[in-house]
Structure 1
Amino acid sequence: HTMERYFTNNGNMELTDRIAEGLLRTVKKYTQIIHTEPDNYEARAEVMWAGSLSHNGLTGCGAKERDFTSHILEHELGGMFDVTHGAGLAAIWGTWARYVYQNCLDRFVQFAVNVMDVAPGANDEETALRGIEAMEDFYRSIGMPTSLHELGVDPTDEQIDIMAHNAAIASGGKRGSARVLYEEDFIKIYKAARAL
């Protein structure tokens, strides 16, 4: 939930951003430890504490809106197919990020540098895209999918239309803060995630 609160164009506070980035870096670090040492109590404690802080609204303080588009898309995906929430989010996130990053470029650059430890590129767009790639590399490093194919689902165009329509209904017709998206955008994101 921290990432959905982080990628917004509406009124973030610097302190909240630093808290969010610290949570995300902590989860990244200790999830990699848990992946290789599943019984590591300290690593699990760090991730559980980060999860509690992420879910209590702390990382949304100061933001007028939050962007839960990837969540709403995953909810419909999980409703139609037998996928876990985290794996579904990982499979959708990169496609969503590439679809919206230009409308929220400063946030994606900040994420790339402050969370994913990406060195600034020749320009902001390059840095943002390298941050998205670094996040997908992280997902792969812990065995998570980065596309619907890797997730093991291959929705038909009709199923994509149904999921996009249901996501639009659940969103009141539109969703997003990084970029406001509509049903036709949801269709494009699902299809792009399927094509990878």
Structure 2
Amino acid sequence: MPETLNLDDFMEDARGRLVPKSIVPEIDRERDALVRETVDAARELQQKMTKFKMRAMGDVHAFVELSAEKYKARLGGNKGNITMVSFDGRLKVQISIAEHITFDERLKAAKTLIDECLTSWTDNGRDEIKMIVMDAFDVDKDGCLNVRQILGLRRFEIEDETWQRAMEAISDSIQVMGSKSYLRVYERTAADGRWEPVPLDLAAL
């Protein structure tokens, strides 16, 4: 009967092969141990940060509910963006809701109508708008459209009937695919009174 392997005596390499620890250089074993220890600590910290975020957001929403009850107001659905500032005005907690927006096929109709406008406009005074419109429909390196720039086209007060139909098509094409809540904390600096974020991103520390 073949002897059972003791996996503690082996290390798995990048190709999935079991290599006896006895032939793995000591520096490689020490590096492996350091990497695993650091990643384990990072995972533990990630779990703590997730619990902190959920607790903090829960506390803020609970306070908003309590505040509303004092005015006999009932809150329902998405509570939206919330900002709370400490009594001394030096600390701030902010919850913001960011929606993930995309466009359906009606955006192509909007682009066609806009192209008609660009072709028909000969007034030099609209050259700047032409450039903004063309930039709005440029895609990034991942092939994605810039949602903010496209939605920003609707701010132009242009009476052209074709343009108006194009803006209507943009509005109708908007699809909200979901939303994400962000928790941010700030501290006001004593020097110039600006709000500085308290970094919770390891790369920002």
TM-score, length basis structure 2: 0.23
- Structure 1 or 2: more helix by fraction: 1
Larger radius of gyration: 2
TM-score by length of 1: 0.23
| Bigger RCO of structures 1 and 2 (CA < 8 A, at least 6 apart) | 1
